């Protein structure tokens, strides 16, 4: 199984400041034949299902604000919220879909400082 880890477990950021979440996979999720990273990011607010933010490591889902961006390759990835808004308070998960056994990271909780 590909194990996903995230850091930090939680962070508190002032409104308008940058939030950075890291995700690491236990093996590369970069498929060399198409040069694509099989990595997605989700946002989950209390009592709601997850919402897809980013797929293919850096492609923003339609309708997602451009303050959300994804980067990285191979085993190390980052989700950046460039200017934190109050509505961004949530838990964020990364997910690999390189393996048929898809796995999620444990989540990172983002709060307002």
Partner 1 sequence: EVQLVESGGGLVQPGGSLRLSCAASGFTFSSYWMHWVRQAPGKGLVWVSRINSDGSSTSYADSVKGRFTISRDNAKNTLYLQMNSLRAEDTAVYYCASPGDWDYFDYWGQGTLVTVSS
Name which position in 58, 82, 97, 109 contacts partner 1 (CB under 8 A).
Answer: 97
Q: Is 22 one of the binding residues for partner 1 (CB under 8 A)?
A: no
Name which position in 43, 50, 81, 92 contacts partner 1 (CB under 8 A).
Answer: 50
For residues 106 and 95, give the distance between their C-alpha atoms in angstroms, rounded to a whole number.
10
Number of H helices and E strands in the chain, helices first, is 0, 13
Name which position in 13, 19, 29, 40 contacts partner 1 (CB under 8 A).
Answer: 40
Q: Is 74 one of the binding residues for partner 1 (CB under 8 A)?
A: no
The CA–CA distances, whole Å, from 102 to 13, 37, 53 equal 30, 13, 17
Q: Is 55 one of the binding residues for partner 1 (CB under 8 A)?
A: yes
Name which position in 23, 37, 105, 110 contacts partner 1 (CB under 8 A).
Answer: 105
For residues 102 and 81, give the distance between their C-alpha atoms in angstroms, rounded to a whole number.
25
């Amino acid at each position: 199984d590909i194990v996903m880890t995230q850091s930090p477990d939680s962070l508190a950021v002032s409104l308008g400041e940058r939030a950075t979440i890291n995700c690491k996979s236990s093996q590369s999720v970069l498929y060399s034949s198409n040069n694509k990273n099989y990595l997605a990011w989700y946002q989950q607010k209390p009592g709601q299902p997850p919402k897809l933010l980013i797929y293919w490591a850096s492609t923003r889902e339609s309708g997602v604000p451009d303050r959300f961006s994804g980067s990285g390759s191979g085993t190390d990835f980052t989700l950046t919220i460039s200017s934190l808004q109050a509505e961004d308070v949530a838990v964020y998960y990364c997910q690999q879909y390189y393996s048929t056994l898809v796995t999620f990271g444990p989540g990172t909780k983002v709060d307002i400082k």
